[in-house]
Chain A
Amino acid sequence: MSEMPGLDLTRLRARAVAVLREPFLHFVVLGLLIFAFNAWRGAIGDPADRRIVVSQAEVQRLVGQWMQTWRRPPTPGEVDALIRDHVKEEVYYREALHLGLDRNDEVVRRRMRAKMEFLAVSQLEQQTPADATLQAWLDSHSAQYAQGARYSLDQVYVTARPGDAAAEARAKAILRRLQGGADWHRAGDPLDAPAHVEGADAAALSATFGPEFAGAVAALPVGSWAGPVRSGLGLHLVRLRRVLPGHPPKLAEVRQTVENDWRAATLARREAEGYQALLNAYDVRIEKPK
């Protein structure tokens, strides 16, 4: 939030500069000692250091922040107050660090952690990965992107509640007739799902018939009526006609998905690595209560 849309910034800046030329301000700035401190950027001064410098840049920052809130430049008196408040905050901040108050404050700890985590990953968001990077990712995660086997099959549905022995027996009787060459088009009960399936993978079968059915199909013989296979819908007699084996996809076919996955995983890894690097500098001992 460094700029305010809709404001005449040039005019505001000119007035701000005029304020900064006030002699009293020079007095304040010169009157304070030399030690760069920029809390905004996260640099932390040595709490033992007894010098506080409020640089010109720091004063400009305070004025800019003030302008963002109030949409006008501060008066000299207001600048004075801003600086005094800043010095006061700095003094208290260092004294608090000196007393170790930051260490047991949950809010301070969580906020600092959030900042560190953000620093670890912020650059990666915009980066465009090279083809070689994505190809390497695809190669090392090929199972995840593999086009699964595709099944072509016919199925005859028999309505059946769980544990319905009569329905089970009926399904078996129909199976025997189908195996004997009966017309499958006229067999079984109606169902609002395809009887004739062409080239569907496990996910597509699962979406229509449920995962139980999709799992069972892979184990069926090709070319003959088999079953009954139980699904969440009832019983099915299935003739698996053809299985097209799966194959690993080319990068071009799945590029966007691979890039999404690579980015998400790399973000997580960088953050973990950044943390690990810091963690390595510590000797961590955990004493669990007995």
Chain B
Amino acid sequence: MSGISRSTLLAGAALLALALAGCSRSGDKAAALHAPVLADTAVAAVPENAFPDQVYWGDTHLHTMNSTDAILFGSRLTPEDALRFARGEKVRSSSGVEAQLERPLDFLVVSDHSEGIGTGRELFNGNPAFMADPTLKRWHDLMLGSNTDQETAARELIGAFTHQKLPAPLMNLGNLVRITSSTWEQQLATVERYNTPGKFTAFIGYEYTSTPKGNNLHRIVIFRDGADKVGKIQPFSSISSPNPEKLWAFLSNYEQTTGGKVLAIPHNGDLSNGLMFALTDFEGAPMTGDYAKRRARWEPLTEVTQIKGDSESHPYLSPDDEFADFGKAGFDQGNLDLSTRKTKDMLAGDYAREALKRGLMLQQKLGTNPFKFGMIGATDSHTALSSAGEKGFMGDDASVEPGAARASHVQTNAESGLERTGWQFLSGGYTAVWATANTRGAIWDGMMRKEVYGTTGTRLKLRLFGGWDFGAKDLKGNFVQAGYSRGVPMGGDLPAAKHKGPPTLMVNVLKDPLGANLDRIQVVKGWVDKDGQTHEHVYNAAWSDPDKRRLDAKGKLPPVGDTVDLAHATYANTIGAAQLSTVWKDPDFDPSVRAFYYVRALEIPTPRWPVYDAVRYGAKLPADARLKDQQRGYSSPIWYDPKG
């Protein structure tokens, strides 16, 4: 077993015994348990495991007061506050509430909007160049007003931004560069100070906020490098170009000129009104093979779940999937600012599962799959607090931090008349990365390999390996070692088949030690037939109480039950399972067609955050508010190609 977690101590590691051992019993599936390294980079190199068998939790998408919309909403917390909160410290929120994570995160990407980064602070401070503009003066005044005033200012800013109607001083990049470059420089310095290899990874990153006509084409940019390289560039913004291809060109240029590495992650397909995974390029021309290659190269991951909805799939696209309605209410009726109503024909371009299917179809046509992405979750919180999870949700932005009113708070687009209500927001997700160590290099490489999964805030531990000869006996031994040596982990491509027969997926899901039991593991398969038609099927692969719960003729499973007590915002783990594992064989395998497989793990029902608000603050919840959900995790897919 030593092979699986042999640690190599590098130079100068006069460090405490870091040893880790694997498991030494035959029935054991586990890997090693790291002792965290309490040391700075200067002191010792961080040991790395032989296999990426450790899971690291983080948030790839978080805003602080350096984001113009965040500070207009009332955020007064800095990147430093965000980093301190993420690594587990107590922080006072913008509304004055003390906040602390139940347990720390392992990494964080502070990803402020690059568009005019830091200008909100100048607006707040009354920069004279801004005060000469009546709209900016108005926003400045509103920023000093009540919560409602602040929200008004933020919504007006977002509306103006998404419809290219920002006041002139905010559109003039030359004019803004003194503010944006000094903010960026300070932000880099702070992130560098908090990056502690082996203990807590602080990534340099930002958000590219392309939003043509209110349709969300946002990307998070994450650098593998430190300020020595990233400090040579200024972040690319959608004011320079709303066309993501220009962002890719910028990223390519960054790598060539600095020798660094960088990737981009799209999010909120659900708010793109059909554009995020369109079959065309940004200008509406048919997609080319070259476009497909660049997209696949620069965008290895997609953020499929966050505060502003879940973009895995939709009941309209997946009518046989009874769990596809999660996080759709309020977000499937329009685009980001609700300026345009969504129509059914747009849905296929909005959701990740459909995009994975479209990717297979495009590969058939273009030779490259543009949508061959791994899946993650994030918060996109604008409070500087990465607080995914129902119990400690700190709100979407500083105007809706915890309190009695936020669940019924209505946001309306005056022109379209479309509305979104507080309870519809999710508490946000987290990203889990399988990596060899907690360092920028190891975690970023895990993202690039797509050896990642996303959750809706829970920290369930999900392993998936694909191969041709896994069997039930592998689960009894060290399945991690078997998985890496005889198959590929999540995010990988099935190797060419050595013999006939269907692929086998080895899956193990362990519950969050602080969370709910598991209801079931599902395998989601997508494929494209010879005529270019795409298909999907959701298989129940393992579930709790299999002696009592049996599949019906259609492969459906009786519900796991429900222990939620709404009056006290509690649930009991008296149903469900702590761990589920299986070796699953595709019963409908056709070796001649392209396919992908990913795992969705569902927890038992638990109360949603508005229920906690009702108990804590006496919040009166709207009659239609959703009170319970089955929180979940989404693995990155494993792909099968007949050509191997």
Contact = CB atoms under 8 A, between A and B. Distances in A.
B193 A195 contact: no
Contact of B38 (A3, A205, A207, A254): A254
Interface string B1-24: 000000000000000111111111
Given A185-B25, A186-B26, A193-B30, A233 B35 contact: no
A231 B34 CA distance: 19
A244 B461 CA distance: 29
A174 to B, nearest CB: 13
A5 B177 contact: yes
A195 B4 CA distance: 14
A89 to B, nearest CB: 12
A10 interface: no
Nearest to B463: A192
| Candidate in A147, A159, A205, A253 with the most chain B CB atoms within 10 angstroms | A253
Interface stretch (A131-139, A255-263, A272-280): A255-263
A210 interface: yes
A85 B76 CA distance: 34
Given A161-B574, A253-B43, 13 more contacts: A65-B129, A161-B575, A162-B574, A191-B28, A195-B28, A196-B22, A196-B28, A199-B18, A201-B35, A207-B103, A244-B17, A252-B42, A260-B80
B472 to A, nearest CB: 12
| Candidate in B16, B169, B581 with the most chain A CB atoms within 10 angstroms | B16
A4 B18 CA distance: 54
Contacts of B280: none
B64 interface: no
Contacts of A255: 40, 42
A93 to B, nearest CB: 14
A264 to B, nearest CB: 7
A192 B133 CA distance: 60
A199 B35 contact: yes
A256 B25 contact: no
A39 B49 CA distance: 61
Contacts of A231: 513
Nearest to A252: B43
Interface stretch (A43-51, A72-80, A105-113): A105-113
Contacts, number: 182
B33 A185 contact: no
Given A147-B38, A185-B24, A194 B33 contact: yes
A114 interface: yes
A190 B129 contact: no
Contacts of A233: 510-511, 513, 578-579
B325 interface: no
A55 interface: no
| Candidate in B24, B169, B179, B475 with the most chain A CB atoms within 10 angstroms | B24
20 contacts: A1-B175, A4-B175, A6-B174, A111-B126, A159-B579, A161-B517, A161-B573, A162-B574, A186-B26, A191-B579, A192-B510, A198-B21, A201-B36, A208-B513, A232-B514, A233-B578, A244-B17, A253-B38, A255-B40, A260-B80
Interface string A205-217: 1111111010000
Interface in B167-181: 169, 174-175, 177-179
A69 B129 contact: yes
Contact of B196 (A110, A196, A232, A256): A256
Contact of B25 (A186, A199, A200, A205): A186
Nearest to B87: A257
A190 B28 contact: yes
A69 B25 contact: no
B512 A232 contact: yes
Interface string B84-116: 100000000000000000011000000000000
A227 interface: no
A224 interface: no
Q: Is the interface of B mostly helix, strand, loop or mixed?
A: loop
A254 B21 CA distance: 26
B144 A111 contact: yes
B178 A1 contact: yes
B141 A107 contact: yes
Contacts of B515: 232
Interface residues of A, number: 64
Given A4-B175, A232-B513, A190 B29 contact: yes
A68 interface: yes
A122 B42 CA distance: 29
B174 A5 contact: yes
B476 interface: yes
A210 B515 CA distance: 10
Interface of A: 1, 3-6, 40, 65, 68-69, 106-107, 110-111, 114-115, 118, 145, 147, 150, 159, 161-163, 184-186, 188, 190-201, 203-211, 213, 231-234, 244, 249, 252-257, 259-260, 264
Contacts of B104: 203
A199 B38 CA distance: 13
Contacts of A188: 27
A241 to B, nearest CB: 11
B105 to A, nearest CB: 11
A40 B578 CA distance: 64
B69 to A, nearest CB: 19
A243 to B, nearest CB: 13
A198 B20 contact: yes
A3 B512 CA distance: 54
A107 B140 CA distance: 10
Contact of A107 (B133, B145, B463): B145
A249 B31 CA distance: 28
A213 B33 CA distance: 14
Contacts of A162: 572-574
Interface string B558-595: 00000000000000111101110100000000000000
Nearest to B149: A107
A259 B179 contact: no
Interface in B296-354: none
Contact of B475 (A161, A190, A264): A190
A192 to B, nearest CB: 5
Interface string B143-168: 01100000000000000000000000
Given A106-B144, A161-B574, A206-B103, A197 B174 contact: no
Contacts of B578: 159, 161, 233-234
Nearest to B14: A253
Contacts of A209: 513
B30 A200 contact: no
B534 interface: no
B80 A264 contact: yes
Given A4-B175, A192-B29, A210 B514 contact: yes
A237 to B, nearest CB: 12
A199 B144 CA distance: 52
Contacts of A5: 174, 177-178
B386 interface: no
Given A147-B16, A195-B24, A253 B510 contact: no
A195 B25 CA distance: 8
Given A114-B124, A162-B574, A150 B35 contact: yes
Contact of A264 (B84, B177, B511, B572): B84
Contact of B27 (A4, A118, A186, A208): A186
Contacts of A234: 578
Nearest to B132: A69
Given A5-B177, A185-B28, A190-B476, A249 B38 contact: yes
Contacts of B133: 69
Interface string B61-89: 00000000000000000001000100000
B30 A194 contact: yes
A65 B34 contact: no
B127 interface: yes
| Candidate in A118, A199, A210, A213 with the most chain B CB atoms within 10 angstroms | A199
Given A1-B179, A194-B30, A199 B19 contact: yes
Contacts of B227: none
